[in-house]
């Protein structure tokens, strides 16, 4: 039996999570890991490079050392650890900036009210508009959002290419595919594929601008519209990655049904989502489920049985599931036969 003081310390440790997250986000925003990547620096040297007050920066560096992101030697030079190196650009820096961005941070203060009244998400309470409407109206916040999604997607894109055989396919559509990171990986690995990025018009504009900066020769078609009503057709596979968890079951089913109706014979719907585990264990997907409550209200993570029901209602059957990067799973679905 734990001592009462142990319980107190545990709760205090949990409450300090806000401070740690804010420290990581600030480190990402400042670019500390990028600045330390070439060689160790003192706090004064680092402050000069980043345009910070050296005394104030040293207080942040102390916390980062305590969390295992940095190490400091006897001469006062800071170097990044393997964990800290994940805050570099091209790794998870963009995700950390997103987590600490004001437009993402503020809605969490509305969580209690959003639990009492589910008519509006915490995000809408904080900003006056639902998440995707806000992103359409705020190019800066939209850029932060899509860069964060892109940072996480790069790992999953490589894993997806290994988890499913695309070699015999001709046309693949990424539904709600953001900046087209998955399709960029697919075109490199499978040159025969005709790939189509499908998203809201504002997102397609950002994707084109992104390719102009990073990959002017990207072999990806684009199309925009409402995935509740239509998707580019036909295709051998529709990728629906971290889209369904933004919506309630009715809307998620509608997306899947639209994809099923557009499939070529023998085609598949490839769903990438995290799966809720049974029981009340500590689970990153359960935390992500709470994030979806904050951001989207009715959106939520699902268990495997819940996905089976969702697919059944859309006229699909679950063929197989395979692990991907970052705790996500690939759910491979095919049109449901009459006897199913």
**pLDDT exceeds 70 at position 57:** yes
pLDDT-based confidence at residue 217 (cuts at 50, 70, 90):
low
- Of 228, 139, 124, nearest in space to 176 by CA: 228
Which residue among 127, 242, 245, 300 is the active-site one? 245
pLDDT for the residue numbered 340: 44
**pLDDT exceeds 80 at position 119:** yes
pLDDT-based confidence at residue 230 (cuts at 50, 70, 90):
very high
Q: For residue 181, what are the CA distances in angstroms to 140, 158, 174, 184, 188?
A: 20, 10, 10, 5, 11
Q: Answer positive or negative: Cα dihedral of 62, 67, 69, 72.
A: positive
- The structure tokens 């997250």 sit at 21
pLDDT for the residue numbered 283: 86
Contacts (Cβ under 8 Å, ≥6 apart) of 199: 176, 177, 178, 207, 224
pLDDT for the residue numbered 154: 84
Task: Count CB atoms within 10 A of the CB of residue 229.
Answer: 8
Active site residue 245: yes
pLDDT for the residue numbered 236: 98
Task: Count CB atoms within 10 A of the CB of residue 261.
Answer: 14
Distance (Å, whole) CA 42 – CA 73: 10
Segment 230-259 shows an average pLDDT of 97
pLDDT for the residue numbered 12: 92
pLDDT for the residue numbered 278: 87
Distance (Å, whole) CA 148 – CA 127: 20
Give me the chain's average pLDDT, please: 93
User: In percent, how much of the chain has pLDDT > 90?
Assistant: 85
pLDDT for the residue numbered 1: 55
Statement: the pTM of the whole predicted model exceeds 0.85: yes
Segment 43-62 shows an average pLDDT of 97
- The pLDDT tens digits of the residues spanning 164-192 come to 999 999 999 999 999 999 999 999 999 99
Segment 325-337 shows an average pLDDT of 91
**pLDDT exceeds 70 at position 26:** yes
- Of 80, 91, 81, nearest in space to 41 by CA: 80
């Amino acid at each position: 039996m734990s001592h009462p003081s142990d319980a107190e310390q545990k709760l205090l440790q949990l409450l300090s999570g806000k401070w740690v997250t804010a420290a990581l986000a600030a480190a990402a925003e400042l670019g500390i890991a990028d600045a330390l990547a070439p060689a160790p620096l003192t706090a004064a040297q680092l402050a000069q490079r980043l345009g910070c007050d050296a005394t104030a920066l040293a207080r942040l560096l102390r916390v980062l050392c305590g969390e295992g992101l940095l190490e400091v030697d006897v001469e006062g030079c800071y170097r990044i650890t393997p964990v800290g190196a994940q805050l570099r650009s091209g790794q998870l820096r963009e995700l950390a900036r997103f987590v600490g961005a004001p437009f993402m941070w503020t809605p969490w203060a509305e969580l209690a009210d959003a639990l009492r009244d589910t008519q509006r998400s915490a995000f809408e309470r904080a900003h006056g508009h639902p998440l995707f409407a806000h992103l359409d109206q705020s190019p800066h916040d939209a850029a932060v959002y899509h860069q964060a999604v892109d940072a996480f997607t790069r790992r999953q894109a490589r894993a997806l290419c290994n988890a499913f055989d695309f070699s015999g396919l001709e046309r693949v559509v990424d539904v709600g595919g953001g900046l087209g990171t998955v399709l960029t990986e697919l075109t490199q690995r499978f040159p025969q594929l005709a790939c189509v990025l499908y998203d809201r018009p504002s997102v397609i504009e950002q994707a084109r601008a992104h390719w102009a900066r990073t990959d002017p020769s990207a072999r990806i078609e684009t199309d925009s519209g409402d995935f509740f009503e239509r998707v580019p057709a036909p295709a051998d596979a529709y990728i629906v990655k971290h889209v369904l968890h933004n919506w309630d079951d009715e809307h998620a089913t509608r997306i899947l049904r639209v994809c099923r109706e557009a499939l070529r014979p023998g085609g598949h719907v490839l769903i990438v989502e995290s799966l809720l585990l049974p029981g009340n264990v500590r689970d990153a997907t359960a935390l992500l489920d709470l994030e979806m409550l904050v951001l989207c209200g009715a959106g939520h993570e699902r268990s495997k049985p819940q996905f089976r029901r969702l697919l059944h209602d859309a006229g699909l059957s679950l063929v197989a599931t395979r692990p991907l990067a970052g705790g996500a799973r690939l759910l491979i679905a095919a049109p449901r036969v009459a006897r199913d």
